[in-house]
Amino acid sequence: MPELKPISRSASSRHMKLLSRRAQPGRHQLKYQKWLLWTVITVFLFVSTTTTTTSSSSSSSTTSSSSSAAADASASLQPLPLRTTLSLNNAPRALGEAPRISFFSPSLKIYVYELPPSFNRVWLMSNARCGSHLFAAEVAVHEALVDFAGRVLDPNEADFFFVPVYVSCNFSTPTGLPSLHHARPLLASAVRFLSTEFPFWNRSRGRDHFFVASHDFGACFHAMEDAAIADGIPDFMQESIILQTFGVSSPHPCQRAEHVLIPPYIKPDIEEQWPAPEKTKRDIFAFFRGKMEVHPKNISGRFYSKRVRTEIWRRYAGNRKFYLRRKRFDGYRTEMARSVFCLCPLGWAPWSPRLVEAVALGCVPVVIADGIRLPFPEAVRWTEISLSLAEADIGRLEELLNHVAATNLSTIQRNLWDPALRRALLFRHPMAEGDATWHALRTLEGKLDRSWRRQRRAVSLPQSPR
Range of the structural domain that residue 253 is part of: 70-265+442-450
Same domain, 252 and 350: no
**In this predicted structure, what is the pLDDT of residue 463?**
53
Q: Is the pLDDT of residue 60 over 70?
A: no
Q: How confident is the model at residue 56 (pLDDT cuts 50, 70, 90)?
A: very low
Do 258 and 160 fall into the same domain?
yes
Is 460 part of any domain?
Answer: no
The confidence score (pLDDT) of residue 96 equals: 30
In a shared domain, residues 170 and 184: yes
Residues 235 and 280 in one domain: no
Residue 210 counted as domain residue: yes
pLDDT in tens, 94-133: 323 334 444 444 578 999 999 999 999 998 998 888 999 9
Query: Is the domain of 403 the same as that of 324?
Result: yes
State whether 46 and 132 are in the same domain: no
pLDDT tens figures, 385-418: 999 999 999 999 999 999 999 999 999 999 999 9
The CATH number of whichever domain residue 368 belongs to comes to: 3.40.50
Pair (250, 291) in one structural domain: no
Q: What is the pLDDT of residue 293?
A: 85
Q: What percent of the chain has pLDDT over 70?
A: 74
Same domain assignment for residues 243 and 102? yes
Q: Please tell me whether residues 183 and 321 are part of one structural domain.
A: no
79 is a domain residue: yes
| pLDDT at position 277 over 50 | yes
- pLDDT digit string, tens, across residues 315-344: 999 999 999 999 989 999 999 999 999 999
- Higher pLDDT residue, 219 or 51? 219
Number of domains in the chain: 3
- Residues 193-202 pLDDT 10s: 999 999 999 9
The pTM of the whole model exceeds 0.85? no
The pLDDT confidence band at residue 87, using thresholds 50, 70 and 90, is very low
201 and 102 part of one domain: yes
Read off the pLDDT of residues 346-368 as tens digits, 9 standing for 90 and up.
999 999 999 999 999 999 999 99
Q: Round to whole Å and give the CA distance between 424 and 381.
A: 11
Q: Give 461's pLDDT tier (boundaries 50, 70, 90).
A: low
Listed range (29-38, 179-188, 315-324, 396-405) with the worst mean pLDDT:
29-38
Q: Are residues 418 and 279 in the same domain?
A: yes
Residues 296 and 235 in one domain: no
What does pLDDT average to over the chain?
81
455 lies in some domain? no
In a domain, 379, yes or no: yes
User: Is the model's pLDDT at 72 over the cut of 60?
Assistant: no
Query: In this structure, is residue 95 part of a structural domain?
Result: yes
Average pLDDT of the segment spanning 2-27: 38
| pLDDT tens string 125-148 | 988 889 999 999 999 999 999 999
